[in-house]
Amino acid sequence: MLTTRFVNGAPNWIDVGTTDIDRARAFYGALFGWQFRSAGPDAGGYGFFQSDGRTAAGGMQTTPEQGPPSWTVYFRSPDAEATCEAAEQAHGRVLFPPMDVTGRGTMAILADPAGAPFGIWQPAQIQGVDVAGEPGSLCWVELYTPDIPAAAAFYHATLGLETAAVSFPGGVYTCVNPAGAGEDAMFGGMVPLADDPTEAESGASWLPYFEVTDVDGVVARAEELGGTVRVAATDVEGVGRIARLADPYGARFAVIRTAPRQEP
């Protein structure tokens, strides 16, 4: 699971781009208890979703020309320019080249060979989100892709990520961790699009998971607030209770109540 002890290659930021940031603020505030704080007059309307004063995510107004509303997962990079070059050499694309963000860090937006967009964040003043792995914060990310071996090779070449096959009841899951960090640092997984018709409709993408204490309560509240239940609350043995949702504007995310870790 994710923590704020960020290492290169691990997710260290997440934000949502939406066509109505004011209503998105209300939706996520009611769902996760987040408060929204502007990043300042020079930030173009960008702001921070905060949980008890700690930044859990970012958010911004976007236009239809910038694509549909969506969550973007950012991965820590020590050198944004070098990471972009590595991505291109591995047949990915740079959608938005590295840009300094008012001294807070350097960001870029890329796409892997299957078209899944993701961000990179080279820290400066801001290392990443202030909270992860706790209720109301990012705890896991999942890549839905048509070709897991190809995706694993791309992210290894670009971010140094390593994968491992983990058996669970009903099959094998491909987990992801930073280079040399081992299984204890796993922060996400890869799922074949062919195995998941729900995500196949949207194509290759990264899906963020937020930890919650009551999955069913969050699902019901999301529906009340105009969100959509894409996959109903389900128990996954050894993992936890999970549901996949979309906010009222179509940005997709998942929630999980993680199962207690079983001691050997």
Reported as a single tens digit per residue, the pLDDT across 21-79 is 999 999 999 999 999 998 887 777 899 999 999 999 999 999 888 889 999 999 999 99
Q: How far is the C-alpha of 142 from the C-alpha of 209, rounded, in Å?
A: 8
Output the pLDDT for position 5.
85
The owner of tokens 């009222």 is 248
Domains with residue ranges and CATH for the chain = 11-123 (3.10.180.10), 138-258 (3.10.180.10)
- In terms of DSSP bridges, do strands 138-145 and 188-192 run parallel, antiparallel, or are they unpaired? parallel
Q: Is the dihedral of CA 146, 149, 155, 157 positive or negative?
A: negative
Residue ranges of alpha helices (H) inside the chain are: 21-32, 80-89, 148-159, 197-200, 215-224
DSSP 50: E
45: left (phi > 0), else alpha (psi -120 to 50), else beta?
left
The owner of tokens 């309307």 is 45
- Give SS3 for 87: helix
Encode 145-174: b = buried (16+ Cβ within 10 Å), e = exposed. Answer: bbbbeebbebbbebbbbbbeeeeeeeeebb
Phi, psi for residue 142 in degrees, rounded to 5? -140, 130
Determine the Cα angle at 85 with ends 117 and 190, to 5°.
35
Output the pLDDT for position 171.
80
Average predicted confidence (pLDDT) for the chain? 94
Alpha carbon distances (Å) from 61 to 43, 53, 64: 11, 22, 10
Give the model confidence (pLDDT) of 236-246 as tens digits. 988 999 999 99
